[in-house]
Amino acid sequence: MIPKDPFMLLSWINMQLRDNYPSLDELCQSLDVDRSSVESTLASIDFLYDPKTNSFV
């Protein structure tokens, strides 16, 4: 279960991307999470996925 709070989600997602997954697509596929939902939740707090750094910035 991923965090619902956007700020907790940001921290959790970036940690997962840093430590366990080479891309957001692989994280979403592995955890059966809807990528667009994650991106829209984090966009609501002005964070966007940057594939070059593999993190939300």
Residue 20 has φ and ψ, to the nearest 5°, of -130, -20
CA distance 14 to 54: 8
Degrees to nearest 5, angle at CA 47 with 57 and 29: 90
The whole-angstrom separation of Cα 54 and Cα 1 is 21
2-55 tens-digit pLDDT: 999 999 999 999 999 999 999 999 999 999 999 999 999 999 999 999 999 999
pTM over 0.85: yes
| pLDDT for res 41 | 98
Dihedral sign computed on CA atoms, order 14, 11, 43, 39:
positive
CA distance 6 to 22: 22
